[in-house]
């Protein structure tokens, strides 16, 4: 195992961000190999993080451990230091791609800002988990502007106008499939890909979050602190 993989695993297990490491990835291939070593040590991956969601900048991707992928509604205890993003997510099925709303937990296992882009790539692009709603076929939805709303049980609602562009999302999915194939880690039916923030990142607080967008089912989760009893659906 690469020493940086072990350092990331230790930082994740102890919930203490890594302050320094004597051996950092020096190439993209090395960083990508560390991503999969980390996920394999966690039981394998069943999700991907893509950024950005359009062709406005160079695409990046990282696998997400299977144990970090969750379905709405759920009561969940995110790792300390996690922040929240609301995103569209793509679900691969046997016939193509579906789309849903999702929450992403954003959490780096690296302390501070003085880390190389390759180290941040190896750190799964700061992915920390996903909660996804029910999905619909991507082809069933048309390009449009829509109002995306995030509500919280004890905080003011946040509403933003966001573009939903199935063509751009499909292009991102095609890029991901090609990227994963080059790594000999193909995108399989049942895998999900999150596609960058439409709301956030925001600090996480206890309580129930619901994200809504006309045309898709809501995604819902209740965040609890470590001292509270945890029940999942």
Please tell me the distance from the alpha carbon of residue 102 to that of residue 53, in angstroms, as a whole number. 14
pLDDT of residue 216: 96
pLDDT of residue 119: 97
Does any domain span residue 17? yes
Please tell me the distance from the alpha carbon of residue 37 to that of residue 17, in angstroms, as a whole number. 18
pLDDT of residue 182: 96
Does any domain span residue 229? no
199-219 per-position pLDDT tens digit: 999 999 999 999 999 989 999
pLDDT of residue 107: 95
CB of 148 closer than 8 Å to CB of 213: yes
CB of 124 closer than 8 Å to CB of 49: yes
Domain that holds residue 136: 3-223
Please tell me the distance from the alpha carbon of residue 179 to that of residue 67, in angstroms, as a whole number. 22
Does any domain span residue 232? no
104-117 per-position pLDDT tens digit: 999 999 999 899 99
Please tell me the distance from the alpha carbon of residue 193 to that of residue 40, in angstroms, as a whole number. 18
Strand partners, 161: 147
pLDDT of residue 232: 43
Give the chain's domain count: 1
Does any domain span residue 208? yes
Please tell me the distance from the alpha carbon of residue 205 to that of residue 209, in angstroms, as a whole number. 10
pLDDT of residue 51: 86
Does any domain span residue 108? yes
Please tell me the distance from the alpha carbon of residue 110 to that of residue 126, in angstroms, as a whole number. 9
pLDDT of residue 58: 84
pLDDT of residue 4: 97
Does any domain span residue 230? no
Which CATH number characterizes residue 183's domain?
3.90.850.10
Does any domain span residue 228? no
Does any domain span residue 78? yes
CB of 217 closer than 8 Å to CB of 134: yes
CB of 125 closer than 8 Å to CB of 166: no
pLDDT of residue 22: 80
What are the residue ranges in the chain where pLDDT is below 70? 53-56, 226-233
Per-residue burial over 203-227, b if 16 or more Cβ lie within 10 Å, else e, is ebeeeebbbbbeebeebbbbbbeee
Q: Quote the tokens at residue 11.
A: 């930082």
């Amino acid at each position: 195992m690469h020493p940086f993989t072990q350092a990331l695993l230790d930082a994740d297990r102890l919930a203490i961000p890594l302050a320094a490491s004597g051996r950092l990835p020096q190439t993209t291939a090395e960083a990508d190999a560390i991503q999969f070593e980390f996920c394999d040590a966690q039981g394998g991956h069943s999700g991907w993080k893509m950024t950005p969601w359009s062709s406005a900048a160079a695409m990046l991707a990282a696998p997400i451990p299977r144990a970090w992928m969750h379905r709405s509604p759920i009561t969940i205890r995110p790792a300390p230091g996690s922040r929240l993003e609301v995103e569209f997510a793509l679900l691969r099925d046997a016939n193509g791609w579906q789309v849903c709303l999702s929450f992403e937990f954003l959490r780096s296992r690296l302390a501070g800002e003085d880390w190389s882009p390759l180290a941040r790539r190896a750190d799964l692009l700061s992915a920390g988990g996903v909660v996804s709603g029910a999905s619909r076929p991507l082809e069933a939805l048309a390009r449009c502007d829509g109002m995306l709303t995030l509500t919280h049980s004890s905080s003011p609602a946040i509403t933003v106008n966001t573009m939903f562009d199935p063509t751009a999302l499909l292009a991102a999915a095609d890029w991901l499939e090609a990227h994963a194939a080059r790594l000999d880690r193909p995108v399989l039916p049942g895998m999900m890909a999150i596609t960058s923030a439409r709301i956030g990142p925001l600090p996480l607080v206890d309580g129930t979050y619901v994200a809504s967008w006309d045309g898709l089912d809501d995604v819902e989760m209740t965040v609890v602190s470590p001292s509270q009893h945890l029940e999942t659906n």
